[in-house]
């Protein structure tokens, strides 16, 4: 039977299939070799241990009965305890700013002086009018005394006596008005020296020396912020309001603030106020805490992490690293001799690396804290002492 030669296109297609199969076989061999080399060159355990099918090296911790804090965490903002914009009560040229910008001032210290000459003149004028009225009043009182003697002798008309009595009363009222005018002038003169209404830190000046200052200017001269003590405001979900209120009854709740990214608290204070309404947009309520801030570590408008301590209870605790989660909920690997068993638990409050266990464990039980990713039910383990470093 005659043979039919295959076309060049079919031969080329068959060749490409052969080359592709060869390439896949080579790639699979390279991947297997590199994977085996990597497994042999690197540790396979979570603590840097090599394991070749023997007991799994782990670290463990004992279940302990100890105090654990119930806390709420939030993001807060540092606020000046009081903020005052210092404004002038009178108009005048600014002559001096005795205190430097950013310095600390005590309540009552002079922080600005205005030109007092206009108010000194007004004070002298008021005092002069008062002296004039007093002289007239004294003369009218003397005349009244003479009229009263003459009237008792029926030597003058009754109407003349009554007119003199009215004049004395009028001048007495005028004297009182003049006295008030003097006090007002002296007060205006006193206002040319502006004193700090609160103790705190001065801000940057808003008016330079030599400028004309108007009474009650909108910008003011400077701002004083009270930073000792200082406040921190933060919000918590409305579900915790009643719990916080019950905890506050008869007791000051401790509040700690922590800088973002840090673990140690910056300062510790007490909760002072709970707002009287819930924010309808966020479903939260605002709280306020007070801190002494003697070391000035807190600064107005600073963002901080807030930890509000509600209560401190006795509970069974394990390290957070021991707690695992599966399809049935939380569990731990409980040590039973040289093996482990999966123990389902109910977890509660977490605080400072510990978690409260409300059900599933007893005091003295031992649980695995490191090496859990290679464990299964009944796995054989090798307990590594806590002070032993990682072995090669």
Q: Give pLDDT tens digits for 18-33.
A: 667 777 777 777 676 6
The answer to whether 99 and 222 are in contact (CB under 8 A) is: no
Give the residue carrying structure tokens 């019950």. 246
Rounded-to-integer distance, Cα 142 and Cα 171, Å: 13
| Residue 147 pLDDT | 87
List of residues 6+ apart from 229 with CB closer than 8 A:
81, 269, 290, 291, 292, 293
Do 71-81+225-312 and 56-68+314-383 fall under one CATH topology?
Answer: no
| Residue 371 pLDDT | 81
CATH number at 71-81+225-312? 2.40.30.170
**Closest to 57 measured CA to CA, from 68, 69, 67, 44:** 44
Pairing of strands 110-114, 303-319: unpaired
Per the model's pLDDT, the better-predicted residue between 127 and 359 turns out to be 127
Rounded-to-integer distance, Cα 130 and Cα 138, Å: 12
Q: pLDDT band at 381, cuts 50/70/90?
A: confident
Q: Residue 282, class by beta-carbon neighbours within 10 Å (0-12 exposed, 13-18 middle, 19+ buried)?
A: exposed
3-state secondary structure of 373: helix
| Residue 82 pLDDT | 93
DSSP for 238-299, written as a single string = GGGHHHHHHHHTTSPPEEEEE-TT--SEEEEEEEEEE-SS-BTTTTEEEEEEEE--TT----
Helices 117-152 and 158-190, packing angle to 10 deg: 160
Fold of 88-114+194-220: OB fold (Dihydrolipoamide Acetyltransferase, E2P) (2.40.50)
| Residue 209 pLDDT | 94
- Name the phi and psi angles at 14, rounded to 5: -65, -35
Rounded-to-integer distance, Cα 150 and Cα 10, Å: 154
Fold of 56-68+314-383: 2.40.420
Rounded-to-integer distance, Cα 316 and Cα 365, Å: 10
Give the residue carrying structure tokens 């979570």. 46
Q: Provide the token pair at 367.
A: 């649980």
- Name the phi and psi angles at 72, rounded to 5: -120, 135
Fold of 116-191: Helix Hairpins (1.10.287)
Q: Provide the token pair at 372.
A: 């859990």
Q: pLDDT band at 390, cuts 50/70/90?
A: very low
**Using one digit for the tens of pLDDT, what is the confidence trace for 256-285?**
999 988 878 899 999 999 999 999 999 999
B/e letters for 356-368, b = 16+ CB within 10 Å, e = fewer, are bbeebbeeebbbb
- Domain boundaries defined on the chain: 56-68+314-383, 71-81+225-312, 88-114+194-220, 116-191
The answer to whether 357 and 348 are in contact (CB under 8 A) is: yes
The answer to whether 286 and 60 are in contact (CB under 8 A) is: no
Per the model's pLDDT, the better-predicted residue between 367 and 180 turns out to be 180
What integer is the mean pLDDT of 354-380?
A: 83
**Using one digit for the tens of pLDDT, what is the confidence trace for 322-338?**
888 887 788 888 888 88
DSSP for 79-137, written as a single string = EEEEEEEE--SS-EEEEE--SPTT-EE-TT-EEEEE--HHHHHHHHHHHHHHHHHHHHH
Asked if the model's pLDDT at residue 44 lies above 50, the reply is no
Rounded-to-integer distance, Cα 229 and Cα 294, Å: 8
Mean pLDDT, rounded, of the chain: 84
How is the chain split among helix, strand and coil, in percent rounded to 5? 30, 35, 30
**Closest to 221 measured CA to CA, from 301, 299, 114:** 114
Rounded-to-integer distance, Cα 44 and Cα 53, Å: 11
């Amino acid at each position: 039977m005659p043979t039919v030669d295959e076309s060049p296109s079919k031969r080329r297609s068959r060749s490409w299939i052969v080359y592709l199969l060869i390439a896949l076989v080579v790639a699979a061999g390279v991947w297997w070799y590199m994977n085996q080399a990597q497994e042999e060159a690197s540790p396979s355990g979570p603590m840097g241990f090599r394991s070749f099918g023997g007991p799994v090296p782990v670290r463990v911790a004992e279940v302990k009965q100890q105090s654990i804090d119930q806390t709420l965490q939030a993001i807060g903002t540092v606020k000046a305890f009081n903020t005052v914009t210092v404004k002038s009560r009178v108009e005048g040229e600014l002559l001096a700013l005795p205190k430097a910008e950013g310095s600390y001032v005590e309540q009552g210290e002079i922080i600005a002086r205005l030109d007092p000459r206009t108010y000194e003149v007004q004070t002298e004028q008021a005092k002069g009018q008062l002296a004039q009225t007093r002289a007239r009043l004294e003369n009218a009182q003397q005349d009244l005394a003479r009229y009263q003697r003459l009237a008792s002798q029926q030597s003058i008309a009754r109407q003349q006596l009554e007119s003199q009595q009215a004049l004395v009363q009028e001048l007495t009222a005028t004297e009182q008005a003049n006295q008030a005018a003097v006090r007002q002038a002296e007060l205006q003169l006193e206002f040319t020296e502006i004193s700090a209404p609160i103790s705190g830190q001065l801000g940057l000046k808003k008016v330079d020396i030599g400028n004309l200052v108007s009474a009650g200017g909108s910008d003011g001269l400077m701002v004083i912020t009270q930073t000792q003590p200082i406040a921190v405001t933060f919000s918590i979900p409305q579900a915790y309001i009643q719990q916080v209120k019950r905890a506050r009854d008869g007791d000051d709740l401790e509040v700690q603030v922590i800088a973002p990214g840090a673990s140690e608290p910056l300062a510790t204070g007490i909760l002072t106020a709970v707002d009287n309404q819930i924010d309808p947009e966020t479903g939260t309520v605002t709280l306020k805490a007070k801190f002494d801030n003697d070391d000035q570590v807190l600064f107005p408008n600073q963002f901080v992490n807030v930890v509000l301590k509600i209560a401190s209870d006795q509970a069974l605790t394990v390290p957070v690293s021991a707690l695992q989660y599966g399809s049935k909920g939380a569990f731990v690997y409980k040590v039973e001799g040289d093996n482990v068993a999966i123990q389902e638990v109910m977890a509660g409050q977490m605080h400072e690396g510990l978690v409260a266990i409300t059900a599933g464990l007893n005091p003295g039980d031992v649980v695995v804290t490191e090496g859990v990713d290679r464990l299964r039910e009944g796995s054989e383990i090798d307990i590594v002492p806590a002070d032993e470093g990682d072995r090669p």
